[in-house]
Structure 1
Amino acid sequence: MNGLRVASLMAATMTTGLVAGVYAIYSNAFMPGLATTDDRTFVTAFQAVDRAILNPLFLGLGFLGAALFTLLAGLLGLKEKALPWIAVAFVLYVISMIVTMAVNVPMNDALKAAGDPATIDVAAARAAFDETKWQAFNLVRTVLATVSFGFLGWALFLTGKAVVQP
């Protein structure tokens, strides 16, 4: 059971870190880069990236896996010193998921629903998208997921100390 507890905590930490990294890349590279492009390039690139990220590796292992592994780590560590850190990490990560599903995904879907950039008014589609709002909520989910990752890292440290100590 101890091995499964540690493995689930390691998986939770790694997948949460990966998701936090994806969000951070959007904040620090992808969106600032797209902000400098013309409307057609922005709409085309954003639609393409949003379609590409909807894949089993990111959605299953990363986005959902981070929550499931964290929940499992918490359930397997109910009597452990690291549990409060795992619990807070889980809550923060779930809030980041809620922000994603309530704000960012609907905005992404609306931009995709605007249609083919070759046949639509791309300036209107981009304006309706509201990059500033998207980026603000992306920053919120980045911070939440990053803090969650940090708490899981601390929980992993505490778990390792408990395993090593007699």
Structure 2
Amino acid sequence: MFALRVTALIAATMTTGLMAGVFGLYQHTVMVGLGRSDDRTFVGAFQALDRAIINPWFMLSFVGALLLTAISAFLSPGRQILPWVLAALILYALVFAITVVVNVPMNDALKAAGAPDQIPDLAAVRHAFNEARWTAWNLVRTLATTAAFGCLCWALVVRGKLG
């Protein structure tokens, strides 16, 4: 049982850390770079990125972080580790919900506008997408996922002290 508990906690920590990196990279690099681009580039590049990110590696981390943290919480043996894992689970569940309720519908609406070469008013499509709203919610995802990662890292430290 010890090996299963530790393996689940390590896997939860790794996948959550990967997701903190993904959301963080979008926050401080991808959206900043796209924000400096013209409307055609913004719409086309964002659509391409959104299509590309839905792949097995991303989904393994995105869904895996939630499932593995839940498994870790279920397997956590006591009061020293469980609060940290539960905090991580709550934070990442919030991130998961924001992604599904806010960011994905915004992404889908931008994709539904069609190919940039077929859009008569790219500025209107970009404006309707609302970069500021997308980025604000992504900042929440970045901070919450980073905090969840920190909680899981601390759970590993506590696990190590317990022996």
Structures share a fold, TM > 0.5? yes
Kindly state the Cα deviation for residue 79 of structure 1 after the two structures are TM-superposed: 2.5
C-alpha separation between the residues in 1 aligned to 2:76 and 2:131? 41
* Residue 68 of structure 1 pairs with residue 64 of structure 2: no
Match of 1:56 in 2: 56
Match of 1:81 in 2: 80
Answer with 29-38 or 69-78: which moved more: 69-78
C-alpha separation between the residues in 2 aligned to 1:80 and 1:14? 22
* One-letter code aligned to 1:21: G
Match of 1:138 in 2: 138
Identical positions, percent: 55
Count of residue pairs the alignment pairs up: 162
C-alpha separation between the residues in 2 aligned to 1:145 and 1:82? 18
Match of 1:111 in 2: 110
RMSD: 0.8
Q: Which runs of 5+ in 2 are unaligned?
A: none
* One-letter code aligned to 1:51: R
Question: SS of the residue aligned with 1:97?
Answer: helix
Tell me the TM-score normalized by structure 2. 0.97
Moved over 6 A (4+): none
Answer with 138-147 or 75-84: which moved more: 75-84
Question: SS of the residue aligned with 1:118?
Answer: helix
Tell me the TM-score normalized by structure 1. 0.95
Match of 2:152 in 1: 152
Q: Which runs of 5+ in 1 are unaligned?
A: none
C-alpha separation between the residues in 2 aligned to 1:162 and 1:73? 16
